[in-house]
Structure 1
Amino acid sequence: MQLRFEWGPTGAAAVAAPVTVVVDVLSFTTTLTVAVERGMTVYPFGWKDERAATYAAERDAVLARGRSERAGVSLSPASVRAAAGVERLVLPSPNGSAIAFGLAGTGATVVGASLRNASAVARWVAGREVSVVAAGERWPDGSLRPAVEDLWGAGAVIAGLVDRGVTGLTPEARMAERAFRSASLPDDLVACASGQELVEMGFGGDVDIAAEVDASDVVPVLRGDAFEEAR
């Protein structure tokens, strides 16, 4: 078995494995961990358009707002942490959520990981054939922008697996592991391009939550079309 690492939705398809770990640190999988900690069932969705409202209504779920609306539940992990009375949440994003949504129905076990729960995920997937996918961000033209925070998040999961005796890393996976081990967190997360973008938008608290390395033991697993705590 090889432990593989790739980027984005195309990479997720290219390195298909029985277990695929999706990493989107700022912010889908970080928000996902907070939601699952609070007992929420989370439905990933490709992006927030007119279909998302129908999708949420069909599942009697709350549709997360755009972060910029600054009201109600959104992709912001701080907003989910503060939410009350939400049991089911549709959480759209063009990156991590879209990748998870695209993997639903493929037969793979899809797991959501971030810096907050990387060690817990590594414990849960150890002993299986695993691919780790960093979601990345998007340039204005829609093309993939590799995001260093997702490299660190993926590397944290891979490092956890290596520490449990997993071998057979591809060079790409080994590179991600080394990137995580050399990162200075939380300072690097705040200083990176995505972190600075959120800080400048007034969402520095979201970056702080994302930097809570191994603060969570939850392992969100996609069951059908929704993420729930692993059993």
Structure 2
Amino acid sequence: MSPFSQHEYQVRCEWGLAGAREITRDAAITAVVDVLSFTTTLTVAADRGVAVFPYPWRDSTAAEFARSNDAVLAVGRSRAGFGEVSLSPETVRSADGLSRLVLPSPNGATIARAVARTGSQVIGVSLRNAKAAAAWTVGRLATMGLGSPVTVIAAGEQWADGALRPAIEDLWGAGAFIEALAASMERSTPEVLSPEARGAVAAYRDVAPELPGRLHDCASGRDLVASGFAGDVEVAGEVDQSDVVPVLHDAVFRTAPP
């Protein structure tokens, strides 16, 4: 096994698409975390019962994919007109008659689709549903085997040259999920969590008393506020206000049964 696989531990944590490919090879469940904004938008859609098709990028193939699945294709956040849906969670929350949505994202959606091809069960996790997702995961582990591996992928963002930009809000979201997951496990934390997973928990615990305000202060939050999307940061900061768990099956996220 690769020294980067964290295979000695049940709960593992890594960054981005390359990290997902490294640690999810034997994972029973993978939690993808993209707080600003793919998985936040995904949980808002799940709150409304909207089926979401993750798509890597809005390119020439996306429109045909949406048509073939009888779904609305989200437009670019800055290009959305009145009533149009984009990666902005506010637009999903306010949309009328929305039932099926193709949601392109170069980070969270891309990672979710790639991991699904490995056979791991993929769930969408944000600060809004971290505790609910952890409870669902513990329930699934009871049927899969309590020692089954769980991987957590902080999606991150991309610099202009395509390189990974670790996004602190995704580390916080990963840590919120892992903390709730570990609290529900009977085995001691050092036996369960990789050092990387424990680091995510430490980052979350450091910021938790100051959330959601600190989301506005991080680089991604400042970028959205400067672009006129402060409301999206507010939605992302609705910590544990959602009890839904979006589960990816056959290329579409649907709300898991309670």
**TM-score, normalized by length of structure 2?**
0.88
From 174, 178, 184, the equivalent of 1:158 is 178
Q: Which residue of 2 aligns with 1:95?
A: 107
Distance 1:49 1:93 in 2: 11
Does structure 1 residue 45 correspond to structure 2 residue 55? yes
In the TM superposition, residue 164 of structure 1 has moved relative to its aligned partner by 1.3
In the TM superposition, residue 13 of structure 1 has moved relative to its aligned partner by 1.0
Q: Deviation digits for residues 19-51 of structure 1, max 9, x if unmatched?
A: 000000000000000001111100000011111
Does structure 1 residue 108 correspond to structure 2 residue 120? yes
Does structure 1 residue 191 correspond to structure 2 residue 217? yes
Does structure 1 residue 23 correspond to structure 2 residue 33? yes
Q: Which stretch shifts more, 131-140 or 155-164?
A: 155-164
Q: Deviation digits for residues 79-137 of structure 1, max 9, x if unmatched?
A: 00000111100000100011112223321100000000000000011234210000000
User: What's the Cα RMSD here?
Assistant: 1.0
Q: Deviation digits for residues 145-176 of structure 1, max 9, x if unmatched?
A: 00000000000000101221353110000000
Q: Deviation digits for residues 182-222 of structure 1, max 9, x if unmatched?
A: 10211211100000000001100000000000000000000
From 137, 141, 157, the equivalent of 2:161 is 141
Amino acid at match of 2:118: T
Unaligned runs of 5+ in 2: 1-8, 142-147
Q: Which residue of 2 aligns with 1:201?
A: 227
Does structure 1 residue 214 correspond to structure 2 residue 214? no
Distance 2:225 2:177 in 1: 26
**TM-score, normalized by length of structure 1?**
0.98
Q: Which residue of 1 aligns with 2:6?
A: none
Amino acid at match of 1:122: A
Map residues 77-88 of structure 1 onto 2, 5 A cutoff: 77-88=89-100
Give every structure 1 segment of 4 or more consecutive aligned residues whose post-TM-superposition deviation is greater than 3 Å.
none
Unaligned runs of 5+ in 1: none
Q: Which stretch shifts more, 142-151 or 11-20?
A: 11-20
Q: Partner of 1:54: helix, strand, or coil?
A: helix
Answer with 1 or 2: which has the greater Rg: 2
